[in-house]
Amino acid sequence: MSTAEETADGETSAWGEVTPDAARRLLVAAVEAFAERGYHATTTRDIAGRAGMSPAALYIHYKTKEELLHRISRIGHAKALDILRTAARREGAPAERLADAVSSFVRWHAGGRTTARVVQYELDSLGPDARAEILALRRQCDAEVRGIIEDGVAAGDFDVLDVKGTTLAVLSLCIDVARWFNVDGPWTPDEVGALYADLVLRMVGAK
């Protein structure tokens, strides 16, 4: 499956809040281009061409290339936060909630790996104000996972000496899936999600 096909088929629902249709097409084209070429090597002409539009049409919806990246990053991080928050606040033991958080987060990074690569690895391409906003969302993601681990430690269910470091390791493990996952590889997103949930429970010494 090509990057374009993956983005169109796997990520359409992720951009449902982006209107009108032309703005959505440009955003999807930007995701494809940024993932393939990197933010700095991509021009607004590249993005407009992928969307089947003129460069002038792009500026009707987005003032700059950075505005496109900022919107992609904001929507992507909001989705990531929603996934983790939903798992963290569900009923169940800490081990169940942590497994749910990890498997769901991994599935998102595998199933939408093109978007996830842009969302997770182009942060430094944003200007100071936009970057600060995205970092705040990242801290909230961190807090949701850290909260589950703290609950497990407090209940005696987890054996963790460094909660902060373990939280970083868990999130890093999940995020890296976007870098290596291959749709033509041996695993499905669900299978990788289940594998990583098991690995993380072993990491925290779940009883």
Rounded to two decimals, the pTM is 0.88
- In 10 A of CB 38, how many CB atoms? 13
Percent share of the chain, pLDDT over 70: 93
Structural contact between residues 15 and 75, judged by C-beta atoms closer than 8 angstroms:
yes
Helices 128-154 and 65-88 sit at what angle, rounded to 10 degrees? 10
At 130, is the pLDDT very low, low, confident or very high (cuts 50, 70, 90)? very high
Structural contact between residues 4 and 32, judged by C-beta atoms closer than 8 angstroms:
yes
Structural contact between residues 189 and 106, judged by C-beta atoms closer than 8 angstroms:
yes
Type of residue found at 88: A
Residue 13 has what pLDDT?
54
Distance CA 192, CA 163 (A): 24
Helices 163-175 and 189-203 sit at what angle, rounded to 10 degrees? 160
Closest listed residue to residue 39, CA positions, set 133, 130, 169: 130
At 1, is the pLDDT very low, low, confident or very high (cuts 50, 70, 90)? very low
Residue 207 has what pLDDT?
86
Burial of 97 (0-12, 13-18, 19+ CB in 10 A): buried
Provide the mean pLDDT of the chain. Answer: 92
Residue 87 has what pLDDT?
96
At 121, is the pLDDT very low, low, confident or very high (cuts 50, 70, 90)? very high
Residues 6+ apart with CB under 8 A from 36: 3
Tokens, residue 133: 């906003």
At 15, is the pLDDT very low, low, confident or very high (cuts 50, 70, 90)? confident
